[in-house]
Structure 1
Amino acid sequence: MAMLLVRSIEQEGYGIPNIRLNVPEGPGRELRLKGAKEKRIPDIALDDLPVGFNYDGYGHLDLAAIDVGSLEKDEIRAALVQVREKYVDDLRRNRELLAGGRIVLPIVAEDLFESGGLDAAVLAAISASERIAGMGGAVADNVRRALARERSIRRQRLIWSLYPWSGGTSLGNY
């Protein structure tokens, strides 16, 4: 995903020049005194805009992976408590990053597999930058140029081709 953000529009990317991966950011002192974590880490931060992304793949909060048939009632409860704790931590991470000035949008595996899903998520980030923070400029212009239908089709095929399985490019209605 990061590769597509920084790739040029001509190379089926979004033309977003400055990103950082997994760099800790933190809320202000006041929130830390109220229990917020010292640092939170967005997976991808767009340096020229107050937005970032956190990617959650299929294994993130995977309730289907809990084999309830082989577990005792207490084990099922414990597994569900762990899932809830992870969910709560994710929400707090996003809230604390927002308080520190970073709007964090989640990206899920389905966004990459669905036709145009990543385009929609990146456009949402640009829209949030423009509407909430009054920022956009050249980065937003690049993204909108990258969203032209033909480029979106080629980018989606590129995304599918990166997955380690055959048949990816046959997905969708392109």
Structure 2
Amino acid sequence: MSDQHADALEAVRNRRSHSSVTEEAPSSAELAELVAALSSVADHSGLRPWRLIELRGDDRDAIATGLAAADGGGEKGLEKYTKKARRAPLVLAIVVKPRPSGKVPVWEQEAVASGVAHLLSLLLHEAGWGVIWRTGTLTRTEPVHRAHRLAPDEYLLGWLYVGGIPEKDRKQKPRKPLRVDEVLGTLT
């Protein structure tokens, strides 16, 4: 096994979600370096049918505004969703931006955007940042779409919440063992 293979395997084994993070976050330049590495994501025809929206500070309130409106509005709802939107100092909205293609169906383009989200969360974790993927039943509603200023043909997959890893969360997290025979098989 090569060192690179061992490093990649170890990175995947050690990745975990961090539901609470500190107020530290990668800079825009650090983030850009990680995003540039995503050129290697599996992407049939190289369509790059995705984009990211970097939300920091008050910009995170767009999430709250959209979710509160989708959930029926009201001051109490806005307060609830503002608290949720501000659980991390950096929130990355993962957007599917379908491209016209006679070879690549939209579901495959969405899979590429999902791959981008997963690889980016792995890269962020390896760079020492806490990350969690968040979605919900309101993610693809019209108010959330408007709040993120998405084009008519775009849609939201979810958000990566990013921040520093609290000291208490720096230890290895036990994993539920994966029964390989249940997920890996043959045709015979």
Whether the TM-score (by the shorter chain) exceeds 0.5 is no
Give the number of the structure with larger relative contact order, counting CA–CA contacts within 8 Å between residues 6 or more apart: 2
Q: Which has the higher helix share?
A: 1
Decide which structure has greater strand share: 2
Q: Name the TM-score class by shorter chain.
A: under 0.3
